[in-house]
Chains A and B, each alone.
Chain A
Amino acid sequence: GDSVTQMEGPVTLSEEAFLTINCTYTATGYPSLFWYVQYPGEGLQLLLKATKADDKGSNKGFEATYRKETTSFHLEKGSVQVSDSAVYFCALSDQGSWGKFQFGAGTQVVVTP
């Protein structure tokens, strides 16, 4: 079945450092790919998405490119802020189904001043 694997955390960074969170997936069809962010005590918010190969999703300085050849959707940000401290989830949705999502385990990111 479909699955998502993302790097384990916590990832601890200093402010203005470069962030990369690796995400790889396994899917039988042509899924859409997502990054969601969860701030402490809150629900998940969509950060960015890509619906087909080579698409780049971007939002709030974060970027991720849908790489079909490597089945990856790595999240990057060039200069993190303390406010980026959160848990980040990679997810896929098989467009051929009823919209079922498969989530990764989540990566906690801690940014220190």
Chain B
Amino acid sequence: NAGVTQTPKFQVLKTGQSMTLQCAQDMNHNSMYWYRQDPGMGLRLIYYSASEGTTDKGEVPNGYNVSRLNKREFSLRLESAAPSQTSVYFCASRGGAHQETQYFGPGTRLLVL
């Protein structure tokens, strides 16, 4: 049981490049989330998926898109990366016996030059 996994762990992009951050969970959770973490700002929600087939915007969605590929996988895409998107990105999932708790992946550290 790996929990929530994220790939890649670290990525460097040039401004304007695109990339997709991958997230998968093996806990059969319905809900999945993407956050970004910036110094002094805690975690801010980018997008979430309350259940398979649905996605919705969070607090800071601009410049991102998401795809809930199936119940396990929830990807985050940067179409044209900007330096302001330099951050650490966390995926999380929620569901099962502890409905109120979110479980986090190890994060992807992204640097946009």
B107, A42: Cβ atoms closer than 8 Å: yes
- State which of B41, B44, B58, B100 has its C-beta within 8 Å of the C-beta of A51: B100
**Distance from B111 Cβ to chain A, minimum over Cβ atoms (Å):** 15
Please classify how large the interface on chain B is, using the bins under 10, 10 to 19, 20 to 34, 35 or more. 20 to 34
Interface centre among B41, B43, B90 (most CB of A within 10 A): B43
B42, A106: Cβ atoms closer than 8 Å: yes
**Distance from B95 Cβ to chain A, minimum over Cβ atoms (Å):** 9
Bound state CA distance, A43 and B99, in angstroms? 20
Bound state CA distance, A34 and B104, in angstroms? 14
B50, A99: Cβ atoms closer than 8 Å: yes
Tally of A-B residue pairs with Cβ under 8 A? Answer: 52
Is the C-beta of A17 less than 8 angstroms from some C-beta in chain B? no
B45, A100: Cβ atoms closer than 8 Å: yes
* Chain B interface helix/strand/loop/mixed: strand
B40 CB contacts on chain A under 8 angstroms: 105-106
Q: A98-B50, A99-B94 are in contact. Are A105 and B41 (CB under 8 A)?
A: yes
B92 CB contacts on chain A under 8 angstroms: 44
Please classify how large the interface on chain A is, using the bins under 10, 10 to 19, 20 to 34, 35 or more. 20 to 34
B99 CB contacts on chain A under 8 angstroms: 99
B50, A46: Cβ atoms closer than 8 Å: no
B48, A100: Cβ atoms closer than 8 Å: yes
- Considering only residues 25-50 of chain A, those with a C-beta below 8 Å from chain B are 32, 34, 36, 42-46, 49
User: Contact residues of B with A, CB < 8 Å?
Assistant: 4, 31, 33, 40-45, 48, 50, 58, 90, 92, 94, 99-107
